[in-house]
Amino acid sequence: MSFHITVHDGIADIGREAWDVCARSTGDPFVSYDFLYACEASESAAPRQGWAPRHLALRDDDNAVLGVMPLYLKGNSQGEYVFDHSWADAYERAGGRYYPKLLGAVPFTPATGPRLLNHPDADAATVRQALLQSALTLVQRLGVSSLHVNFPTQPEWAAMTEAGLLPRQDIQFIWRNDGYRTFDDFLAALSANRRKSIRRERRDAQAGLDIRILTGADITEAHWDAFFAFYMDTGSRKWGRPYLTRDFFARVGATMADRIALVMAFRDDTPIAGALNFIGRDALYGRQWGTLDDVPFLHFELCYYRAIDFAIARGLSRVEAGAQGEHKIARGYLPSPVYSAHFIADPALREPVARYLEGEGPAVEEQRAAMTAELSPFKQGSH
């Protein structure tokens, strides 16, 4: 195959048709043109926020796009959910310059998905190898410290490890659909104590509220206004300045409404809380949530239980509820491995990071196995 690589400082330079012909077959909403363009055009992921697009396009001799890779020149490590701050601090204390770095990821989205996207008529292995090698070449060309690929699929992660990137593992909590027809079927797989607790939590959370799941044309700008207020209030209290602008929500609402499930809680027709989910081909992805009212267990109801309801109704295989949160285990979301891969140009940093990761990996897997064995809410042999 004869091909060349082009580097783009905005996804619009590649174009929706060329990008989505590579992304569409994945069924992943986050690598779609509309999601990534919304991040950029809304200035949520923009150079002044530390996200400078450097997307790769692999092209044939006729300049047709054979593959793409979402790639950013990062001026910080914010909004990534794979933590390398200690690496940056150590390198800079030793006189190195860690930032900028290259990041292959979806902004602000800790969800596993493809990072090396190929045209359906192109050989996937060839395209992926060419994109990865081009990203590594770009590290040298730009003179940056490193390349990081966050939340790739397991096969991509294995290929990156073979290519010499340092493998890293972490844990997320994922609900899996074991052929349930109803929420009660799911509850029947749990221990008696957990069934009782979840029913009580749902009853207390729903008391006096009208809870709706909105998708498609049912989502209005008024709903987005309310949700953005929830998001800003809750996000500001948790981590300072939330990343996403109001314009981001307007854009995904306009272009991706049929791939969105917005859970909203109303009291006397006034919205008081909401949870935003994106719908994939076989998964529901929980993203942001917020509330202006302190209702016991409402977070669990909107983010976890309603997501399970929706996934069962749609026949989806899993719900991925985002990063962190050991409390999810008691609600049926079991610890599962997620991945990242890292290339560090300077051996003076690469070697100590490699040693650290060699010890971290087995410890993470041991922690995952222990949490599953000790905290799983499922009856023995039911899951």
The string of pLDDT tens digits covering residues 47-61 is 999 999 999 999 999
* Structural domains of the chain in order of their starting residue, each with its CATH number: 4-171+338-373 (3.40.630.30), 178-316 (3.40.630.30)
Closest to 224 measured CA to CA, from 284, 290, 269? 290
Q: Is the pLDDT of residue 239 over 70?
A: no
Q: Is the pLDDT of residue 7 over 70?
A: yes
What average pLDDT score do residues 251-271 get? 97
Q: Tell me, what's the pLDDT at 238?
A: 63
- pLDDT band for 381, please (50, 70, 90 cuts): low
Q: Is the pLDDT of residue 2 over 90?
A: no
Q: Tell me, what's the pLDDT at 241?
A: 73
The string of pLDDT tens digits covering residues 323-338 is 888 999 999 999 999 9
Q: List beta partners, residue 118.
A: 67
Q: Tell me, what's the pLDDT at 265?
A: 98
Q: Kindly report the three-state secondary structure assignment for every residue of the chain.
A: CCCEEEEECCHHHCCHHHHHHHHHHHCCHHHCHHHHHHHHHCCCCCHHHCEEECEEEEECCCCCEEEEECCEEECCCCCCCCCCHHHHHHHHHCCCCCCCEEEECCCCCCCCCCCCEECCCCCHHHHHHHHHHHHHHHHHHHCCCEEEEECCCHHHHHHHHHCCCEEEEEEEEEEECCCCCCHHHHHHCECHHHHHHHHHHHHHHHCCCEEEEECHHHCCHHHHHHHHHHHHHHHHHHHCCCCCCHHHHHHHHHHCHHHEEEEEEEECCEEEEEEEEEECCCEEEEEEEEECCCCCCHHHHHHHHHHHHHHHHHCCCEEECCCCCHHHHHHCCEEEEEEEEEEECCHHHHHHHHHHHHHHHHHHHHHHHHHHHHHCCECCCCC
The residue type found at 226 is: A
- pLDDT band for 382, please (50, 70, 90 cuts): low
- What does the mean pLDDT of the chain come to? 96
Q: Is the pLDDT of residue 237 over 90?
A: no
What average pLDDT score do residues 14-37 get? 98
Q: Tell me, what's the pLDDT at 240?
A: 61
The residue type found at 371 is: M
The string of pLDDT tens digits covering residues 340-370 is 999 999 999 999 999 999 999 999 999 999 9
The string of pLDDT tens digits covering residues 86-121 is 999 999 999 999 999 999 999 999 999 999 999 999
Q: Tell me, what's the pLDDT at 235?
A: 72
Whole-model pTM over 0.85: yes
Q: Tell me, what's the pLDDT at 383?
A: 62
What average pLDDT score do residues 2-19 get? 97
Q: Tell me, what's the pLDDT at 1?
A: 63
What average pLDDT score do residues 138-143 get? 98
